Structure 1
């Protein structure tokens, strides 16, 4: 009964959304449980608080088609969108180009970092099958260089670098992303990316264990125009990256809810302008 009441008020609030002025959206997939109950969440990048405007079961082109219908039902039009921020999923990208013909597509930097973080972890797993890695290696290389480390993690990183482990080379490639991210203009970013690709390819050459890094570099190059869009986006860097935390918070709170509809309600309650819409 409680969920019925929640659904009633949330649905009423979402039905009152006015999307006539919608110009830019960010979208991502998340799940209430790893590998299960996927939903696609859409946010209004110009809304400073409670930016979620739509969430739907599933992922890929079906979710995009539903969102287009939702926009039109709330006074907007897909052709009004001028920017869409997303990950590098081929299913997303092809559907976005079909549904939002006038929009510029920007690949979210969060997903660029995620791509290379996964590559580092894959290299670590491959190398661990061949040789004993220092204790604390996993969390040492998954942490960003700006984050604090325990003494054990510092020693592990030092040992990885000094002994020339492939995992250390993969980690070095990932950490170069921070240098790219700090570029202040598109021109500076292009220059840094050119050097990044050159040096990263040199790190990864002639080492079978570094195949995950080479694969990540290929994906990076393939999506480079969309990644570069980050530097002349209409939205601040924090705005482009910040919405990922909202999805993770919803996922954390919704853990244990097997019902996809209930998971969507949790997302709306956390991150949609429910109270504002109901009171207005």
Structure 2
């Protein structure tokens, strides 16, 4: 039989024996090459040998589809400095005394969990569900470690519901630095007090690095951020939340017009307006010739809808242009004037919202900050919830979000 060698990749040991069991498991027995340890009581270096502890059996990385186990009897050392001469068992740095696995195997399991589930990894690795959860709890904190963060730059505040239709909201707090999104917190509830309490515990060195806070128009978030960070940090109402509002108004007009046209047009003519809802949500430049014909047909029958559609696109163009806050404010005011002169009533509620939040909305134009990264993360969280059959424990949800965001860079 051909034989090949691969490195064990475990430091400070010598291999004493290698055994292939009937179950096709590989048992590798090793011994420590490190002399001495530190007393668990006084912390001094000790070197007086006091025999060996019980055999430790540790799961290691598989080889050629076969499970590998490392067996080691750790050396025990007696302290001659402390009263009672206590004995300390040597621990090598490639395993954790609380884990039945080598550290590199634990990290392999964590890597397998990225974009997967505890149950799936449990089946693939032949581990119990609790064993996989144990690895997660040993390595992934349930809250942010501020020591690992150098700066925050742009923060995002948004909400998700843990249970669809039940209004069981949590607040997702994130930061965006150099194109990288970091999860900072999953907070129970969405009250101003809850958010303010968390923002207030951000270390001063990081507080100074915050340039902007992005959120929707929910005042619980915007007011909490304003009270904690003051005037030096811009509160930005996300442009995509703004767009959603005026496009909802356009959609409301569409529903009214379609209802009218269904009564007034022949069945054959009305069929030509198929899928207009989706067509109206796109810019003209994105439409195929076929879809353009549908749009033209719709506008022939509903000039008011054409006017509202053009006004929506005009406002979108303002947000797309690279202009200053002051120029943007002037152009948005001109847009409001056009709406008023048009006689359209569908945008009335949106314009009231625009007037109320104009300063925060136009803060977008200072550095063109959006909370698009927050929405992107929310989509990822929805996938996590579906994949894991719903997660109601916010500490566990934080762990899973953190692992999906950081897992590849930490363990790949």
Tell me the TM-score normalized by structure 2: 0.55
* TM-aligned CA deviation for residue 263 of structure 1: 4.2
Partner residue of 2:323 out of 185, 192, 197: 185
1:36-88 C-alpha deviation (Å, 9 max, x unpaired): 4432222223243233222223224144134225524xx65657644211111
Q: Is the 8 A contact 2:142 2:398 kept in 1?
A: no
CA shift in 2, pair 1:58/1:143, >3 Å: farther
Partner residue of 1:142 out of 271, 274, 281: 281
Partners of 1:95 and 1:41 in 2: how far apart?
Answer: 14
CA shift in 2, pair 1:192/1:130, >3 Å: same
Q: Is the 8 A contact 1:28 1:42 kept in 2?
A: yes
Which deviates more from structure 2 when the two are superposed, residues 129-138 or residues 175-184? Answer: 129-138
SS at match of 1:50: strand
* Paired residues, number: 266
**Which structure's relative contact order is higher, taking Cα pairs within 8 Å and 6+ residues apart?**
1
* TM-aligned CA deviation for residue 165 of structure 1: 5.1
Query: In the alignment, which residue of structure 2 is the partner of 1:108?
Result: 238
RMSD across aligned C-alpha pairs, in angstroms?
A: 3.2
Q: Is the 8 A contact 2:279 2:287 kept in 1?
A: no
Query: In the alignment, which residue of structure 2 is the partner of 1:31?
Result: 161
SS at match of 2:140: helix
Q: Does 1:122 align with 2:286?
A: no
Q: Is the 8 A contact 1:23 1:83 kept in 2?
A: yes
Q: Is the 8 A contact 2:199 2:225 kept in 1?
A: no
SS at match of 1:11: coil
Partners of 1:62 and 1:183 in 2: how far apart?
Answer: 37
* TM-aligned CA deviation for residue 241 of structure 1: 3.1
Matches within 5 A, 1:47-86: 47-72=178-203, 76=205, 81-86=210-215
SS at match of 2:309: helix
SS at match of 2:156: strand
Partners of 2:142 and 2:310 in 1: how far apart?
Answer: 50
Residue segments in structure 2 that go unaligned for 5+ positions in a row:
1-129, 263-269
Partners of 1:268 and 1:148 in 2: how far apart?
Answer: 39
CA shift in 2, pair 1:269/1:62, >3 Å: farther
Query: In the alignment, which residue of structure 2 is the partner of 1:173?
Result: 311
Partner residue of 2:226 out of 73, 77, 97: 97
Name the structure with the higher helix share: 1
Partners of 1:107 and 1:214 in 2: how far apart?
Answer: 19
Query: In the alignment, which residue of structure 2 is the partner of 1:254?
Result: 385
